[in-house]
Amino acid sequence: MGVVKLDAYVLIVRGKDALKLINGLSTNKVEASCSTVFTTNAAKIIDMASVIVTDDCIALVGHNPYKEDLLAHISQKILNQDITIGDATASNNVYLSTTEITPPGSVTISHTFRGWLMVAPTSVEITTNMSQSEFDDYRVENMIPMQGFEITPKNHPLACGLGHLVHESKGCYLGQEVLARMRSRGKQGKELVRLPNPVENATTVGKKNSLVIQRVKNN
């Protein structure tokens, strides 16, 4: 497989309350580097972000078109905590490798469910060698949802294949009541499935199969 460049933002969050704030506003138990989903009260997705915890800061890497909505959401919730946010999007490029590679030292690499996420300063060249259709096919075959395709503000995390990022026992977070109710009652409404082509209303079309979000049968 290979490496693709993502349309991603890089937010640098600092302060002693940073991890606690991210944990309280998202679905996964955020204690170290991980992926998590920021949701509204109604459990609709604001964005899925990779949280990369380094020695002196936390980087939030998400989908660039969703950045402003996420920032507006987080900003409202910062009351008197010790938190600052910097926007390092312009000075970094974000890549995803489908296989483990060793990038130059100034590149931060984090293993996520989508592959190896790399945040590289713009001065560092990383060669991309995967076309969009190859990446789509990789996602279809591995059931990997992506922002703008499956991960959208219209969906909740359980509907678009992000159930593994919804922690079952972490306690309260925004959207938790809705997601917990769906799980406990076994009624999540929709789910992400892979079907052989041709697929009506496909969210991502692959060579042989496609991804689609459809109503759960017997739900």
Partner 1 sequence: MDCNTCDTAPAVVINKPDVVDVDLTITEKAKEMLSSAFGDDMSHSLLVGVLSGGCSGYMYDLQIVESTDQDCQVVEIDGFKVLVPNATSHLLDGIEIDYIDRLMGGGFKINNPNASSSCGCGESFS
Least CB distance to partner 1 at residue 10 (A): 7
Q: Is 6 in the site for partner 1 (CB under 8 A)?
A: no
Candidate residues 31, 82, 168, 177; the one interacting with partner 1 per rule CB under 8 A: 177
Candidate residues 173, 194, 199, 213; the one interacting with partner 1 per rule CB under 8 A: 173
List binders of partner 1 among 180-199 (CB under 8 A). Answer: none
Distance CA 152, CA 48 (A): 9
User: Which single residue is written with the structure tokens 């506003």?
Assistant: 25
Candidate residues 1, 19, 53, 57; the one interacting with partner 1 per rule CB under 8 A: 57
In the chain, beta strands by DSSP E = 3-6, 8-14, 34-39, 45-53, 58-63, 84-87, 92-97, 108-112, 115-121, 190-196, 204-205, 209-215
Distance CA 65, CA 150 (A): 14
Cβ pair 28, 36 in contact under 8 A: yes
Distance CA 15, CA 102 (A): 30
Q: Is 119 in the site for partner 1 (CB under 8 A)?
A: yes
Q: Is 78 in the site for partner 1 (CB under 8 A)?
A: yes
Distance CA 101, CA 94 (A): 14
Q: Is 41 in the site for partner 1 (CB under 8 A)?
A: yes
What is the residue type of 32? A
Q: Which stretch binds partner 1 (CB under 8 A): 83-91, 125-133, 134-142, 188-196?
A: 83-91
Q: Is 201 in the site for partner 1 (CB under 8 A)?
A: no
Q: Is 108 in the site for partner 1 (CB under 8 A)?
A: yes
List binders of partner 1 among 14-33 (CB under 8 A). Answer: 20-21, 24-25
Candidate residues 92, 155, 188, 209; the one interacting with partner 1 per rule CB under 8 A: 92
- Residues 6 or more apart from 21 whose CB is under 8 A from it? 13, 74, 77, 78, 81, 83
Residues binding partner 1 (CB under 8 A): 10-12, 20-21, 24-25, 41, 52, 54, 56-57, 59, 71, 75-81, 84-88, 91-92, 106-108, 119-124, 172-177
